[in-house]
Chain A
Amino acid sequence: MDIIKVKNLTKSYAGQRALNNLSLNIKKGDFFGLLGPNGAGKTTFVRCLLDILPFEHGSIFIEEVPHKKPQSRAALAYLPEKFSFYPNYSVYQTLHFFAGTKIENKKEIPLQIEKSLEKMGILDLSSKKIKHLSKGQLQRVGLAQMLVGRPHILILDEPFSGLDPLLIKEMKDLLKELKNEGKTIIVNSHILSEVEIICDSLAIIDKGKLLAHKRMNELDISLEDFFCQTIENQRGTK
């Protein structure tokens, strides 16, 4: 079953096409990798998906709900490339804010916050202010805020970018765990080695165009080779 359906998505910035008639579907429970070189349109795609950016043509449905409706984001959690929150908020207050928007039962909020803080290994940072956190700690808070409210669609924009190897490993382990829980995970990345092992399906885009959309088991060469071939073929034909 397709949980996300994108049809003929077209978005331009000042006359320049950032997404060009892009259509793709993402299956429920899949770990989906959206791959492409820098400036390919990956972040624009995610922002359109979340209705953060408007687009000219096309349609997006999340669990059969048009993306423009707020309820399409009710079961969804998002981690931007650089997670940030108000500097004067503590880690706990930050998570409490996000939890408040997703969890109806008030009593459940502290329990879920504690659980996700524990999972990310930042329980001791709970009273620390956002402005006093390192980049790695901030990214962990970003991941923790994703986990509250038990969303079943997770979208991560360049989650491995700028992280130390230890945190990359932790992030991959966490994503595997979430995948095993049956969550649909969408990862935007240009770091192929990090997504190769965990992806179920992938799409390659360049200059806003969808160049390939495959399941991992359909690939008979390494992801890196497939990626390079696809991009080179596209650029060579121009």
Chain B
Amino acid sequence: MKAKIHFLLIKNTLYKEYRNKTLLLLFLFTLLILWLDQTFFDFIFNQFFKAQNLNLIQYKLDLFYYIISSWNILISALLGVSCVKSDRDEGVLEGLLSLPISRLSYVLSRIFGTWLIVIGYYVLSLLLAITVFSFDGLQGQFLGWPILSSLLMSSLPILIVITLSVFFSLHFSRVWALITTLFLTGIISHANETFSGRFLDQIAHIDGPYKAIIALIHSLIPHSGTFNTLSKELFGNHELTKSLTLELFHFSGSYTLLIFAVMITFRQKGP
């Protein structure tokens, strides 16, 4: 019965968002960007760089990757901000919490449901890209292990951003929660870039308050920036520059901490 309620809540999360106009708009925008990526680069290449021996396909792929990953972060934050907050705003939360489900199960079902939507969006974007880039004979590159492993790796920063936005949506209005989440995601990426590969004893000897804050963020919050870097490396079929085992170990601890913070806030704020 417990598993059934989980399933119902996840299904309910998907159903809640399936008519989300922002999502539809962003999808149309993705289509436009992909089309521009395809035609604009061809035009520039033919006009200015035809004589030079440039790898046009690599440029296209890099731009495509950048767009899709940025979009996913934005969509994760947008949907994450409303996944629990909309229940509260629409007065549904009280009824839902009276059901025989634990508060943790409710929050996790909402987060997981939202995560599935963003992953679905990601896969759809990839399918679109396969169609668009097939004109360049590129579809082979999209169907292999690099893209699948990259997708798996990208699912972690998506999960982190959704959870962060749920946390902030419990404190602030939707707009402020969105701004705070995106700002913090940027700071996390910067912190991960600065301190990645450094060990705790090195981080402990940091001077200056700014670096100390960045080090604290790097230590306590899941490394969304590092996972994005790893995902990009997998996408480009490059060798990984960070230890995946260590990163997953840090993720399991810091994500549990993040969920703990979300649950404390959720219980304190009430319906």
Q: Per-residue CB proximity of B76-93 to A under 8 Å, as 1/0?
A: 000000000000001110
CB within 8 Å of B: which A27-60 residues:
47, 50-54
Q: Indicate if the CB atoms of B5 and A101 lie closer than 8 Å.
A: yes
Interface-side segment among B95-103, B129-137, B230-238: B95-103
A226 within 8 A of B: no
Select which of A54, A74, A80 is within 8 A of B95 by beta carbon. A80
Q: Indicate if the CB atoms of A73 and B98 lie closer than 8 Å.
A: yes
Q: Indicate if the CB atoms of B91 and A101 lie closer than 8 Å.
A: no
Distance to closest chain B CB from A173 (angstroms) = 24
Q: Indicate if the CB atoms of A84 and B268 lie closer than 8 Å.
A: no
B12 within 8 A of A: yes
Q: Per-residue CB proximity of A151-171 to B under 8 Å, as 1/0?
A: 000010000000000000000
Central interface residue in A72, A74, A100, by most chain B CB within 10 Å: A100
Q: In whole angstroms, what is the CA distance A97 to B91 when docked?
A: 16
Q: Name the B residues within 8 Å of A88 (CB-CB).
A: 15-16, 19
Q: In whole angstroms, what is the CA distance A100 to B7 when docked?
A: 10
Q: In whole angstroms, what is the CA distance A82 to B95 when docked?
A: 10
Q: In whole angstroms, what is the CA distance A127 to B2 when docked?
A: 28
Q: Name the A residues within 8 Å of B5 (CB-CB).
A: 100-101
Q: Indicate if the CB atoms of B101 and A101 lie closer than 8 Å.
A: yes
Q: A88-B19, A101-B8 are in contact. Are A78 and B100 (CB under 8 A)?
A: no
A61 within 8 A of B: no
Q: Name the A residues within 8 Å of B90 (CB-CB).
A: 84-87
Q: Indicate if the CB atoms of A101 and B99 lie closer than 8 Å.
A: yes
Residues of B within 8 A of A (CB): 1-2, 4-5, 8, 12, 15-16, 19, 90-92, 94-95, 97-103, 105, 267-268, 270-271
Q: In whole angstroms, what is the CA distance A175 to B268 when docked?
A: 33
Identify 15 residue pairs between A and B in the complex whose beta-carbon atoms are under 8 Å apart, listed by A's number: A47-B94, A50-B97, A50-B98, A51-B97, A52-B97, A70-B102, A73-B99, A80-B98, A84-B90, A88-B15, A89-B15, A100-B5, A101-B99, A102-B99, A104-B4
A76 within 8 A of B: yes
Select which of B92, B99, B270 is within 8 A of A53 by beta carbon. B270
Q: Indicate if the CB atoms of B91 and A80 lie closer than 8 Å.
A: yes
Q: Name the B residues within 8 Å of A53 (CB-CB).
A: 270-271
Q: Name the B residues within 8 Å of A78 (CB-CB).
A: 94-95, 98
Q: Name the A residues within 8 Å of B19 (CB-CB).
A: 88
Knowing that A54-B268, A80-B95, A86-B16 are A-B contacts, what are 11 other residue pairs whose CB atoms are under 8 Å apart, sorted by A's residue number?
A47-B94, A50-B97, A50-B98, A72-B100, A73-B100, A80-B91, A84-B92, A86-B12, A101-B8, A101-B101, A104-B1
Q: Indicate if the CB atoms of A82 and B270 lie closer than 8 Å.
A: no
Q: In whole angstroms, what is the CA distance A74 to B99 when docked?
A: 7
Q: Name the B residues within 8 Å of A80 (CB-CB).
A: 91, 94-95, 98
Select which of B1, B95, B97, B99 is within 8 A of A85 by beta carbon. B95
Q: Indicate if the CB atoms of B100 and A52 lie closer than 8 Å.
A: no
Q: A54-B267, A73-B100, A88-B19 are in contact. Are A100 and B95 (CB under 8 A)?
A: no
Q: Name the B residues within 8 Å of A84 (CB-CB).
A: 90-92, 95
Q: Name the B residues within 8 Å of A73 (CB-CB).
A: 98-100
